């Protein structure tokens, strides 16, 4: 493996040296100095290696990638594990020292039916970067990540974690054009709390083997990890194949050291099933091989392999697969309206003034994608060009005025058709002929909702569920696998009721053509109600209590608040409930009292009560009396 990597680096370096003269003379050099693309982590870079230098200021990049593998014996002996993950990223350089990035990723894993979906991450990053001399670039990259909670396919803010990385980059091409080599390095810490996604998973009623199998599947499918230190190095070389085609191979090595505590459930189960196996390895090693292929326009294709060299095993986080295939597509936009070519500081101060001798022109036709009929009165724009939008004539034709030469992105739209973009490369003095085909607007599709209802005592229940919105009412029908409904896209209020159980409400968002899967837990009504509706307040049979030394509600108080939720659902005339924490303020910690009142309000809101119906506050109570929470009925004007 070492010999292969050394040979690849040497070959890439020799090819880069051989092409250095052509690269220095061609336009790809100018473009690549601005064009950086995105790494798999969301910020600028290539594959697993983020870049300290995100390129030119005021650029926005979008990227989507897929990574997957198929491995036999990955979890259990004789199994066949398949995994496919992907993400969509957006990053923008705001000025010369800041880059912001946003990424949404998901994963589909399968060893046997049914497949396991998970939202692997929702990540927000901010990179602070600066050049150091002619050769180096340094950046600090803090990140916040919200991992998913398994098959709910939704962010779980309670699992919020983050990372902090220091990234360095040295570009030898800036002083030695004959050696277009870039050296990359990264050192950071990841406070990964995704293990909490498995907190609710228990093994009641199953064998040790079944529990181990379920835990291993979830750990792999949800990309569960632990806090870790990470270190990576890489090298890349860029060289031109033709005037409008360039390639940038990269080799990278990553080392991760786990510093968190292992999964106690897996540690115990693996200890029972395989007592002699090493269960607490803390070192992971990976090798990345790949390249970026550029096309002379702000578009590139990434491809590569991630090879697992050493894995910690499942007790210390998800196992590293042997080989993972990776592919990505990047696109970049100049927010200042350029053409994808970098400019010097002097050029940036003065907008380009194309002359007739150096101007370019575009003419063409806009047609319907299916029928091929010309589309009259379609809007045609030239993205980033100082040229007003124009309309097509009766035959769908258009002709531009003077445009800056190079890469030009043409955009066309019409009310009954979808917007379409077409990139073209126009040489000096050329009049390019193009044809844009617009697909028709598809009709909005309804969303689908699957609901699974469970009870706290494990009893089978016949529940009635409805979706409500603006006077509309849609009932969920009983289907194999749960309750099902099809409704228009948008926000709905879901109400679930069952005889002998407390009712539940929850806001549900349905998307066009999307499918939402929910699971709700119903609590049985107690023989003696804990709450009573009075004229001025909701009376509680016992006071709400909190865990000693914290603001967390006790389990008994949560059951009481479940009955409050049921009462508010069945009494919509209660438009405002005031949660008053009454106490002798001279003898109490007001901050703790406020936090406890907010905890009560948040519990009601999280269980379906509209935030506009509940408000929390701290009020002065009788002197020398214990603090207590009173649920007082009020009118909106008394807020």
Residue 288 scores a pLDDT above 50: yes
Question: Is the CB of residue 328 less than 8 Å from the CB of residue 302?
Answer: yes
Residue ranges covered by each domain of the chain: 2-334, 359-438, 447-522, 531-638
Query: With pLDDT > 70 as the criterion, what percentage of the chain qualifies?
Result: 82
The string over 500-535, giving b where at least 16 C-beta atoms fall within 10 Å of a residue's C-beta and e elsewhere, is: ebbbbbeebebeeeeebbbebebbebeeeebbebee
Mean residue pLDDT of the chain comes to 80
Q: Which region holds residue 223: left if phi is over 0, alpha if psi is between -120 and 50, else beta?
A: left
User: Residue 10 pLDDT more than 60?
Assistant: no
* pLDDT at residue 27 in the model: 36
Check: CB of residue 215 under 8 Å from CB of residue 270: no
Sign of CA dihedral 337, 340, 342, 347: negative
What average pLDDT does range 382-410 have in this prediction?
A: 84
The 3-state secondary structure of 46-60, one letter per residue: ECCEECCCCCCCCEE
Could you read off the pLDDT of 15-41 as tens digits, one per residue?
333 333 333 333 333 445 678 889 988
| Cα-Cα end-to-end distance for the chain | 69
Q: In terms of pLDDT, which residue wins out, 171 or 287?
A: 287
pLDDT of residue 359: 76
Alpha-carbon distance 302 to 352, whole Å? 32
What proportion of the chain, given as a percentage, has pLDDT over 90?
Answer: 20
Strand 472-475: give its sheet, edge to edge. 472-475, 464-469, 490-497, 504-510
Chain-centroid distance of CA 442 in Å reads 26
Give the residue among 42, 52, 116, 129 at the shortest CA–CA distance from 82: 116
pLDDT at 46 > cutoff 80:
yes
What does the pLDDT read at residue 113? Answer: 60
- Tell me how far apart the alpha carbons of residues 146 and 123 are, in angstroms, rounded to a whole number: 6
The pLDDT of residue 8 is above 50: no
Q: Is 359-438 CATH 2.60.40.1120? A: yes
Q: Three-class SS of residue 385?
A: coil
What's the pLDDT at 67?
93
Q: Which residues does 117 contact at the CB level (< 8 Å), separation at least 6?
A: 106, 107, 108, 151, 153
pLDDT of residue 63: 93
Bridge partner list, 403? 360
Instruction: Of 181-195, 207-221, 417-431, 447-461, give the lowest mean pLDDT range.
Output: 207-221
Alpha carbons within 13 A on the beta-carbon side of 630 = 15
Q: Is the peptide bond before 57 cis (omega within 30 degrees of 0)?
A: no
Residue partners of 214: CB distance under 8 A and separation at least 6: 201, 203, 206
Task: Indicate if the pLDDT at residue 178 is higher than 70.
Answer: no
Note the pLDDT tens digit of each residue in 398-427.
998 888 888 888 999 888 888 898 888 888
| CATH classification code of 2-334 | 2.40.160.40
Structure-block tokens of residue 271? 């200890």
Q: Which residue has the higher pLDDT, 273 or 398?
A: 398
Of 125-139, 141-155, 325-339, which gets the smallest average pLDDT?
A: 141-155
Beta bridge partners of 331: 62, 299
The verdict on domain 531-638 having CATH code 3.30.1330.60 is: yes
- Residue 341 is predicted with a pLDDT of 40
In this structure, are residues 345 and 75 in contact, taking their beta carbons and an 8 Å threshold?
A: no
Q: Give dist(CA 432, CA 443) in Å, integer.
A: 34
Cα(375)–Cα(59) distance, integer angstroms: 33
Give the pTM.
0.50
Neighbours of 17 (CB within 10 A): 17
Query: pLDDT digit string (tens) for 566-618?
Result: 888 888 888 888 888 888 877 777 888 888 888 888 888 888 888 888 888 88
**CB-based contact 367:397 (threshold 8 Å):** no
Residue with tokens 């974690």: 161
**Secondary structure (3-state) at 196:** helix
Cα 522 versus chain centre, distance: 31
Nearest residue to 52 via CA among 247, 189, 184: 184
Radius of gyration of the chain (CA): 30
What is the arithmetic mean of pLDDT over 322-335?
89
Task: Provide CATH code, domain 447-522.
Answer: 2.60.40.2070
CATH topology match: 2-334 vs 447-522: no
Phi, psi dihedral angles at 611 (to 5 degrees) = -60, -30
pLDDT tens-digit profile of 71-120? 888 877 778 888 898 999 999 998 889 999 999 888 888 876 666 666 66
Q: How far apart are CA 550 and CA 448, in angstroms?
A: 41
Query: Per-residue pLDDT for 491 more than 60?
Result: yes
């Amino acid at each position: 493996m070492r010999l292969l990597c050394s040979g690849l680096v040497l070959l890439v370096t020799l090819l880069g040296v051989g092409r250095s003269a052509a690269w220095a003379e061609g336009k790809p050099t100018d473009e690549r100095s601005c064009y950086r693309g995105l790494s798999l982590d969301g910020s600028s870079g290539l594959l697993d290696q983020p870049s300290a230098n995100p390129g030119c200021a005021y650029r926005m990049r979008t990227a989507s990638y897929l990574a997957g593998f198929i491995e036999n014996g990955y979890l259990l002996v004789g199994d066949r594990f398949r995994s496919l993950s992907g993400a969509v990223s957006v990053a923008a350089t705001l000025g010369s020292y800041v880059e912001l990035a946003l990424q949404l990723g998901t994963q589909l894993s399968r060893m046997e039916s049914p497949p396991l979906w998970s939202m692997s991450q929702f990540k927000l990053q901010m990179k602070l970067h600066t050049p150091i001399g002619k050769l180096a670039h340094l950046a600090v990259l803090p990140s916040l990540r919200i991992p998913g909670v398994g098959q709910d396919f939704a962010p779980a803010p309670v699992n919020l974690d983050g990372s902090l990385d220091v990234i360095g980059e040295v570009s030898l091409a800036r002083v030695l054009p004959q050696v277009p080599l870039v050296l990359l390095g990264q050192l950071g810490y990841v406070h990964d709390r995704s293990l909490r996604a498995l907190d609710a998973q228990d093994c009641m009623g199953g064998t040790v083997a079944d529990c181990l199998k379920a835990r291993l599947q979830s750990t792999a499918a949800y990309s569960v990890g632990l806090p870790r230190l990470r270190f990576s190095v890489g090298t890349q070389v860029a060289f031109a194949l033709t005037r409008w085609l360039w390639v940038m191979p990269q080799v990278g090595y990553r080392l991760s050291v786990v510093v968190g505590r292992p999964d106690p459930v897996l540690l115990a189960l693996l200890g029972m099933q395989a007592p002699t196996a090493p269960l607490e390895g803390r070192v992971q090693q990976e090798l990345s091989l790949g390249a970026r292929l550029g096309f002379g326009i702000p578009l590139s294709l990434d491809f590569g392999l991630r090879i697992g060299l050493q894995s910690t095993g499942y007790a210390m986080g998800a196992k590293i697969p042997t080989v993972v295939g990776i592919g990505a597509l990047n696109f970049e936009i100049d927010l200042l309206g350029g053409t994808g070519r970098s400019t010097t500081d002097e050029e940036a101060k003065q907008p380009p003034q194309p002359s007739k001798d150096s101007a370019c022109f575009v003419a063409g036709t806009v047609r319907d994608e299916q029928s091929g009929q010309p589309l009259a009165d379609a809007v045609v724009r030239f993205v980033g060009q100082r040229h007003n939008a124009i309309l097509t004539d009766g035959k769908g034709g258009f002709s531009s005025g003077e445009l800056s030469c190079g890469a030009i992105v043409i955009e066309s739209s019409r009310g009954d058709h979808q917007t379409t973009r077409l990139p073209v490369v126009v040489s000096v003095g050329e009049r390019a002929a193009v044809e844009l085909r617009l697909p028709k607007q598809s009709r909005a599709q309804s969303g689908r909702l699957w609901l699974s209802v469970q009870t706290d005592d494990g009893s089978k229940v016949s529940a009635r569920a409805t979706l409500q919105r603006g006077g509309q009412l849609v009932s969920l029908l009983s289907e194999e696998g749960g309750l099902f409904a099809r409704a228009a896209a948008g926000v709905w209020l879901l109400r679930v009721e069952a005889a002998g159980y407390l009712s539940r409400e929850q806001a549900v968002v349905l998307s066009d053509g999307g499918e939402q899967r929910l699971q709700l837990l119903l609590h049985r009504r107690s023989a003696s109600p804990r709450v009573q509706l009075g004229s001025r307040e909701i009376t509680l049979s016992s006071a709400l209590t909190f865990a000693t030394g914290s603001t967390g509600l006790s389990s008994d108080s949560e059951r009481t608040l479940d009955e409050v939720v049921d009462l508010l659902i069945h009494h919509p005339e209660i438009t405002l409930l005031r949660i008053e924490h009454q106490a002798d303020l001279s003898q109490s910690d007001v901050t703790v009292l406020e936090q406890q009142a907010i905890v009560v309000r948040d519990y009601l809101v999280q269980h379906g009560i509209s935030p506009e119906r509940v408000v929390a506050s701290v009020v002065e109570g009788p002197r020398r009396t214990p603090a207590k929470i009173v649920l007082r009925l009020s009118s909106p004007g008394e807020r």
